[in-house]
Chains A and B, each alone.
Chain A
Amino acid sequence: MTAAVARPGRRLVQPSILPGFPLAIGITLAWLGLIVVLPLIALALRPAEIGLSGVIETLTQPRVLAALKLSFGLSALAAMVNAPLGLLIAWALTRYAFPGRRILDALVDLPFALPTAVAGIALTAIYAPNGLIGSLAAQAGIKIAYTPLGIFIALVFIGLPFVVRTLQPVLEDLDTEVEEAARTLGATDLQRATRVVLPTLFPALISGVSLAFARAVGEYGSVVFIAGNMPLKTEIAPLLIVIKLEEYDYAGAAAVGLAMVGAAFAILGVVNIAQNALVRRGRA
């Protein structure tokens, strides 16, 4: 192989007897560059055309502000609700044997597997005033579809698998010694569940919830049908991008897109830091 470079710590590629690095890295970089990097550069630079003042002006339009607030607010709410729901489902699926458990377990992935437009029209049909659940709610004077409540339900639907699937492996591989120790010390089952098991699940719960949140913020297909899309009331941020594009306001659309991506990453970053702190405290 190649002769050793003077300072091994600074080699670009560590030598290996395996072949194929140039080809593999070539394909990888070319594809990533063309498909991911170039488009994201466009997303980052296009808003510059309208200048910082233009971007601020776009983002503070009442319609844009309302859409961003609605998307981020409802996504956070749906993710919070997914926490107890996901915990319950993950607990039941990992700790109890019951008929139909495997089918339920496979069904957890359905919101992933069902194309979003399909979920969107199905949810709308169910929760519309003439739908199965929508008509029941209408009798009680509650409107679900075409209101923020409908958007919220769609976001709970698509977020659920993230929480369940993050919790499941942790619940399965939990160190039984700790639970045993707690029992030896006289803790009841319920005490062990709430004081021993729950705290160890917390980091996983946070990452599941933040994944659900991130997905919900950008979600389009399963929400756009049930939302009703009334400006200032039930218009979600992704839809606003579509509308701006239809008006050929590319820079405005890019500004909203960039704000969504930026805000989502910022929130995920904060969650990540909080989670790491939590894990470290748990280990200390």
Chain B
Amino acid sequence: MSLAPAREIPNREGPERPAARAPIVRLPGLAPLFVLATTAIMAVLVGLPLFTVFHDALSKGTEAYLAALKEPDALAAISLTLTVAAISVPLNAIFGVAAAWAVTRFEFVGRNLLMTVLDLPFSISPVVSGLVWVLLFGAQGWFGTWLMDHDLKIIFALPGLVLATVFVTLPFVARELIPLMQQQGSDEEAAAITLGASGFATFWRVTLPNIRWALLYGVLLCNARAMGEFGAVSVVSGHIRGLTTTLPLHVEVLYNDYDYVGAFAAASVLAGLGLLTLILKTALEWRHADDLSPARKH
């Protein structure tokens, strides 16, 4: 890969690679079998659950569906989910840019350790990601008494939901930016600084345009997880209806109340969000493949 900014390289024609280079094993005789099996597995394992969400949400008609979504608790859950994401995602985006700048533009002691710690939240169970906040701020947490004395509430309240969400979504943006910025190198930024640009101008006019699509990609994934997270927020939420139930928790509450239409209606909103994320993500992979982390070019 050249060090030139990726965006100046013309896009490859379409997302698809040119037809397989000649001598490649393809087992043409098995093609129908393999394609059929793949389609069947994907349809049953992945397609069917998606279909079920919308089918069951609409099983009592559109009116029941819309009524379930207009219910005050459902609206409160949607607004809480948006609030949590609106706080968590920008914080992790700023962190991601700062971490990528530090890690890819400087050599320092402990750099590899830092990258390992940065990835940790991905390998930790969502439930444990919620548990750690209860251990700190719960009624019997390290800071529990202090919080109670000062009349502050973190667990079973918005701050706890935000902290749990921030924890599970922390690596998303940094992970998209680090490989890309590593590949791009710092020549352009060094040139800008040498020519007398300020640090801020260099970041704003050189770095940001180079990483904008990868940043968007990371924010997209970060946001999808922030809005859809269940395990971690479930532990810190307390499930107070209309107050601390995000949309995924609202799904759980209704489902456990045997309100299936309501549960699937709320689930359909989240599934729609998931589908939208998938479409935007795929579009970015097709149109801006060269501006994304090298791992995304397939």
Q: Interface residues, chain A, CB within 8 Å of chain B?
A: 12-14, 16-21, 23-25, 27-29, 31-32, 35-40, 42-43, 46, 85, 88-89, 91-93, 95-98, 100, 102, 104, 106-111, 113-123, 125-126, 132-133, 156-157, 160, 168-169, 172, 174, 176, 179-180, 183, 189-190, 192-193, 196-197, 214, 217-221, 225, 238-239, 241-242, 245, 248, 250, 253-254, 257, 260-261, 264-265, 268
Contacts and interface: CB of A to CB of B under 8 A. Distances in A.
A113 B102 CA distance: 29
A172 B26 CA distance: 12
Contacts of B252: 117
B257 to A, nearest CB: 12
Given A39-B135, A92-B35, A176-B24, A18 B189 contact: yes
A202 B20 CA distance: 22
Contact of B37 (A88, A180, A192): A88
Contacts of B22: 176
Contacts of A24: 98-99, 101-102, 105-106
Contacts, number: 308
Contact of B125 (A37, A104, A260, A268): A260
B147 to A, nearest CB: 14
B43 to A, nearest CB: 9
B126 A19 contact: no
A157 B46 contact: yes
Contacts of A96: 26, 31, 34-35
Given A14-B106, A42-B135, A221-B126, A27 B295 contact: no
Interface string B189-230: 110011000010011000000000000000000001001111
Nearest to B203: A20
Contacts of A176: 21-24
Interface in B88-110: 91, 94-95, 98-99, 101-103, 105-109
B49 A119 contact: yes
A176 to B, nearest CB: 5
Nearest to A221: B230
B231 A221 contact: yes
Interface in B213-266: 224, 227-231, 234-235, 248-249, 251-252, 255, 260, 263-264
Given A118-B267, A168-B298, A217-B125, A189 B248 contact: no
B98 A28 contact: yes
A172 B18 CA distance: 11
A137 to B, nearest CB: 13
Contacts of B25: 95, 179, 189, 192-193, 196-197
Contacts of A110: 46, 50, 274, 278
Contacts of A120: 230
Nearest to A118: B267
Nearest to B47: A107
Contacts of B112: none
Contact of A132 (B52, B124, B298): B52
Contact of B199 (A20, A46, A117): A20
B270 interface: yes
**A-B CB proximity, top 6 nearest:** A218-B125, A115-B228, A39-B132, A19-B199, A220-B231, A221-B230
A32 B114 contact: yes
A240 to B, nearest CB: 9
Given A27-B98, A36-B121, 9 more contacts: A20-B101, A24-B106, A32-B117, A38-B136, A115-B229, A117-B251, A118-B53, A169-B295, A193-B27
Contact of A18 (B56, B134, B193): B193
A28 B26 contact: no
A85 B126 contact: no
B38 interface: yes
A115 B164 CA distance: 16
24 contacts: A16-B107, A19-B202, A20-B101, A37-B117, A39-B135, A40-B132, A92-B38, A95-B25, A96-B31, A100-B39, A106-B278, A107-B47, A113-B275, A113-B281, A117-B252, A118-B228, A157-B49, A225-B255, A238-B126, A245-B134, A245-B138, A253-B131, A257-B132, A261-B125
B135 A16 contact: no
A278 B48 CA distance: 38
Given A14-B106, A31-B95, A32-B114, A156 B48 contact: no
Interface string B130-153: 011111101111100000000000
Contacts of A91: 34
A261 B124 contact: yes
B106 A180 contact: no
A168 to B, nearest CB: 5
A128 B83 CA distance: 35
